[in-house]
């Protein structure tokens, strides 16, 4: 399977974001001609001074999108809504805009070799402490975000007979430029390892460099019309994550269990703030629905079996590289 992009054109939506910008870096490294789809108001810090064609058309204008797709061999649809105020907003950002991407791609079906759509583990739903979820399991999303990503997948499946599509379901993603897991590292630096509730929740995780390599593998591999979890084979809990972060940062940090009842109270105030201001905090009622689950783990076996894809970055080295980047950038 070749991942060399000589004379190949790859288009990335959400190219200015955390995952999208890392994918752009990988595609450039592999020799692809890269077109970045961003909004007219998007910041381009992670794209500046790189060999990228910027298309500031956003995802609403199908005609402009279609022009950007002309001659494209691969389309990576990364853009989406992660934290918005209600289900309708999730649906617009994750389903309706995906439909515009696919409609814009239809006139170019003859040149497109693969479209990779980034969904989420949240679409599959939670696992149990004794069993990671697999692609063939019945999806059981619990949050608005997860339900909207599942609806996105169902939309994609309705185009399987028209376009060559693969769907990626990553779990928790971390690495340089991330602002979500970064909050956990910030807390450790301040001397606290927050652990929600009294259950030992297990999670799957993936470094962004491994994730974007997986996305490229989904594009260049021989499969289509498939869903894949892209994750480390190991599963972790917040004790392990905290201990690893403490060791890497050489910090003493106290593990603090936060009762779910208190988390719900804080989230309720966050939801009230959302109704008053429109701003959605990291901790909100929908996030609580995910926090209280027993496990968020997924199996990488299908990607390994069908595409020979495995992650390469272990937790320790991934944390070391990420924390070093945060320090260099003055984030930590």
* 199, part of any domain: no
Give me the percent of the chain exceeding a pLDDT of 90.
94
Q: Are 34 and 51 in contact (CB under 8 A)?
A: yes
* 227, part of any domain: yes
Three-class SS of residue 3?
coil
- Predicted pLDDT at 3: 64
Token pair of 69 as six digits: 């797709």
* 304, part of any domain: yes
In sign, the C-alpha dihedral spanning 171, 125, 104, 14 is: negative
Q: What is the mean pLDDT of residues 7-35?
A: 97
Mean pLDDT of the chain, nearest integer: 95
* pLDDT, tens digit (0-9, with 9 covering 90-100), for 59-109: 999 999 999 999 999 999 999 999 999 999 999 999 999 999 999 999 999
Q: What is the mean pLDDT of residues 44-69?
A: 96
* 291, part of any domain: no
Domain residues for 107?
Answer: 9-173+206-232+297-314
Say which CATH number the domain at 228 has: 3.40.50.720
Q: What is the mean pLDDT of residues 280-290?
A: 93
* 101, part of any domain: yes
In the chain, what's the furthest Cα-to-Cα distance?
Answer: 58
Burial of 126 (0-12, 13-18, 19+ CB in 10 A): buried
* 263, part of any domain: no
The domain tally of the chain equals 1
Give me the percent of the chain exceeding a pLDDT of 70.
99
Output the pTM of the full model. Answer: 0.95
* 75, part of any domain: yes
Question: How far apart (Å, rounded) are the C-alpha atoms in residues 199 and 294?
Answer: 7
* 276, part of any domain: no
Token pair of 78 as six digits: 């990364």
pLDDT at 1 over 50: no
* pLDDT, tens digit (0-9, with 9 covering 90-100), for 117-134: 999 999 999 999 899 999
Three-class SS of residue 68?
helix
Token pair of 52 as six digits: 């990228």
């Amino acid at each position: 399977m070749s991942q060399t992009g000589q004379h190949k054109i790859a288009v990335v939506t959400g190219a200015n974001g955390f995952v999208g910008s890392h994918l752009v870096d990988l595609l450039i490294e592999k020799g692809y001609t890269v077109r970045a789809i961003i909004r007219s108001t998007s910041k381009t810090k992670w794209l500046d001074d790189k060999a990228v064609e910027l298309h500031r058309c956003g995802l609403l204008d199908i005609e402009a999108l279609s022009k950007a797709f002309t001659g494209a061999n691969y389309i990576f649809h990364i853009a989406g809504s992660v934290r918005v105020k209600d289900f309708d907003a999730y649906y617009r950002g994750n389903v309706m805009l995906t439909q515009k991407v696919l409609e814009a791609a239809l006139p170019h079906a003859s040149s497109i070799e693969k479209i990779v759509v980034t969904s989420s583990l949240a679409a599959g739903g939670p696992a149990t402490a004794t069993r990671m979820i697999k692609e063939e399991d019945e999806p059981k999303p619990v949050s608005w975000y997860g339900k909207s990503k599942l609806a996105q997948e169902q939309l994609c499946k309705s185009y399987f007979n028209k376009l060559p599509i693969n769907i990626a379901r990553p779990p928790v993603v971390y690495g340089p430029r991330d602002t979500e897991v970064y909050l956990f590292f910030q807390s450790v630096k301040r001397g606290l390892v927050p652990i929600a509730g009294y259950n030992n929740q297990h999670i799957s995780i993936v470094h962004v460099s491994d994730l974007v390599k997986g996305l490229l593998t989904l594009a260049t591999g021989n499969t289509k019309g498939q869903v894949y979890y892209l994750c480390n084979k190991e599963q972790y809990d917040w004790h392990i994550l905290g201990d690893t972060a403490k060791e890497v940062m050489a910090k003493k940090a106290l593990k603090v269990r936060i009762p779910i009842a208190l988390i719900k109270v804080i989230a309720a105030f966050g939801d009230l703030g959302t109704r008053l201001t429109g701003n959605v905090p990291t901790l909100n009622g929908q996030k609580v629905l995910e926090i209280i689950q027993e496990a968020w783990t997924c199996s990488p076996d299908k990607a390994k079996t069908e595409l020979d894809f495995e992650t390469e970055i272990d937790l320790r080295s991934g944390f070391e590289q990420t924390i070093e980047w945060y320090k260099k950038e003055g984030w930590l």
